[in-house]
A and B are shown apart, each in its own frame.
Chain A
Amino acid sequence: MIALQARRARRTELIAVLGLRAAAGFVIFAMMALLLYLAFEGTKTFYVDHFPVWSFLFSPEFTPDANHPGAAVFIVGTLAVTLFAIAVGGPFGVAVGVFLAEIAPYRMTQILKPAIEVMVGIPSVVYGWLGLTLLVPIIRTHTSSPSGFGLLAGGIVLSIMILPTVITLSEDAFKSVPTVLKEGSLALGATRWQTITRVMLPSASSGVAVALILGIARAVGETLAIQMVIGNSTQFPKDLFTPTAALTTEIVTDMPGATAGSLLEHSLFSMAFLLLLIAMVLIVFVRFALRKRA
């Protein structure tokens, strides 16, 4: 009786583990499929249409109808808007992360953390809609910009959107600094601010780096919110008010109208593949930063 039950339990165990392992395997499968599909489709620009990779990356002339899909404008657009977001949202997010980890009294965290969760939950299109109806008109009336669309609008929206990522991860980084280090500094007569800047920040540096890198990843991949405010014009940004475009926004703007198998479609897939490669490089950076901590 007992032996039979034990045998049955063992068999259930074996089947269960098999199922669980398959589920874990699916994660690998999904990532591999994504990578292969996009690598295959994303390189057709180069091996089917014979457009040089070099020109794709560095030529600012995006005229797929004339067989010349240079993506430099979109690459620069992505870099510019990401740089803006991380320059503004990065320090702001780290500061609020410090605040949450070290300064905020319990009541304040009870307000701030749900607020941040709501910010995470607000859909990208709603941020876009806010940018469109609130931010763009403000920029239009208060600057020389004729339309209000452009880098500034996109950058501000993105800065806000990356805040939750940067705040949450840098808060974790500061919280993982051992209490004994903090006490060691305070026991030497350091003020809280001196302790934060001289002991906690260096100790949490790899965690803060991860927070910023993932903030960058979020900014690079963000699509609709920027698409609604950046202006979607294939030209280099001359200043903060020039309507321009980024990799993601260009995909979403032109993909619905692209014919299957056309050079336009292929080049949009190439941009998607490029985005994927950027994301993976950033993940390697994250891994590197975390290894340094270990």
Chain B
Amino acid sequence: MIDASPTDTLAAAADKIVAKDMDVFYGSFQAIKHASLTMKAQHVTALIGPSGCGKSTFLRALNRMHDLTPGARVEGCVMLDDEDIYGPDADPVVIRHRIGMVFQRPNPFPKTIYENVVYGPRIHGEHSRSALDGIAEHALKQAALWDEVKDRMHRSALDLSGGQQQRLCIARAVALNPEVILMDEPASALDPIATSKIEDLIGQLTDAYTVVIVTHSMQQAARISDFTAFFHLGEIVEVGPTNQIFTHPKEKRTEDYITGRFG
């Protein structure tokens, strides 16, 4: 190995999610073709590529959100630790408990801030008020929102700014104490200041969580991710440590995309 040492530590990290030969179909249209990708525990993996390349489709396959889309079909397997989340015993409700998700546009429920954060624990059977209070505080602190909302926990979440709403959605996912957090362009609807807050937050989240993030911004991928996978036309063209992808891409198509020649 001639590569620099950071890459070695990256390679040494444990595998958290491994997608093997995944195909996703919408009816007869194949949106993802034979995608294989390993996402390392407690690291950030960024999925980049031009619009329509299948990166969001891939992400949604990781917590079985395609189950909700009529006509969508996922083939291949996705291993979470050692178990296939598409296996016969796998239960989407459990999987989504372990793999949280943050969406493109902030989607807080039309309830209070507090009710939003404790929604997940509640539906999974936690009813003790003191436990929920503790979870809410911890989650909001992890989402770097606690100081801004601690005095108005019982106000409507819809009164928050867009950036705050998105951090609330992150807190809502964190409150379930998941192992993985999937993020689908979480900052695309936000202004630059709110975006940088979210980016800082993602860096801190890897202390406890594995993060997989779809982004349309290469700068963002470069800033926050440890690994980058480049998608094009439903295929994973190239995957590797982020600095290697951005400095020494092996594939011509990756290089063209990164240097702005298409996309």
A188: nearest chain-B partner, CB-CB: B120
Counting CB contacts under 8 A, is B11 at the interface?
no
**A189-B110 in contact (CB<8A):** no
B120: nearest chain-A partner, CB-CB: A188
Counting CB contacts under 8 A, is B173 at the interface?
yes
* Residue interface bits B92-135, CB-to-A below 8 A is 1, else 0: 01111100110101011111000000011001100000000000
Query: Which of B96, B105, B123 has the most C-beta atoms of chain A within 10 angstroms of its own C-beta?
Result: B123
A residues less than 8 Å from B70 (CB atoms): 106
**A184-B109 in contact (CB<8A):** yes
Enumerate A186-223 residues with CB–CB distance to B below 8 Å. Answer: 186-191, 194, 198-199, 202-203
Of A40-48, A82-90, A175-183, which stretch is located at the interface?
Answer: A175-183
Enumerate B58-97 residues with CB–CB distance to A below 8 Å. Answer: 63, 65, 68, 70, 93-97
- CB-contact partner of B63 in A187, A190, A191, A199, under 8 A: A187
Counting CB contacts under 8 A, is A185 at the interface?
yes
A191 to B68, CA, bound (A): 12
**A189-B97 in contact (CB<8A):** yes
**B107-A191 in contact (CB<8A):** no
- CB-contact partner of B110 in A106, A182, A190, A202, under 8 A: A202
B residues less than 8 Å from A199 (CB atoms): 109
B residues less than 8 Å from A202 (CB atoms): 109-111
CB distance from A198 to the nearest CB of B (A): 7
- CB-contact partner of A189 in B108, B109, B169, B176, under 8 A: B176
CB contacts between A and B, total, < 8 Å: 65
Interface footprint category on B: 20 to 34
CB distance from B214 to the nearest CB of A (A): 14
- CB-contact partner of B96 in A106, A178, A187, under 8 A: A187
**A186-B96 in contact (CB<8A):** yes
**A188-B107 in contact (CB<8A):** no
A residues less than 8 Å from B109 (CB atoms): 181, 184-185, 199, 202-203
- CB-contact partner of A187 in B94, B101, B105, B124, under 8 A: B101
A180 to B107, CA, bound (A): 6
A181 to B105, CA, bound (A): 10
- CB-contact partner of B169 in A182, A184, A186, A203, under 8 A: A184
CB distance from A58 to the nearest CB of B (A): 42
**A189-B124 in contact (CB<8A):** yes
- CB-contact partner of A188 in B68, B110, B111, B119, under 8 A: B119
**A187-B65 in contact (CB<8A):** yes
A residues less than 8 Å from B103 (CB atoms): 180, 183-184, 187
Task: Show the binding face of A for B, using Cβ within 8 Å.
Answer: 106, 178, 180-191, 194, 198-199, 202-203
Q: Nearest 4 pairs between A and B by C-beta? A: A189-B97, A180-B107, A187-B101, A189-B96
> What are 12 A-B pairs at a CB distance below 8 A?
A178-B107, A180-B103, A183-B68, A184-B103, A185-B109, A186-B65, A186-B96, A187-B100, A189-B95, A198-B119, A202-B109, A203-B110
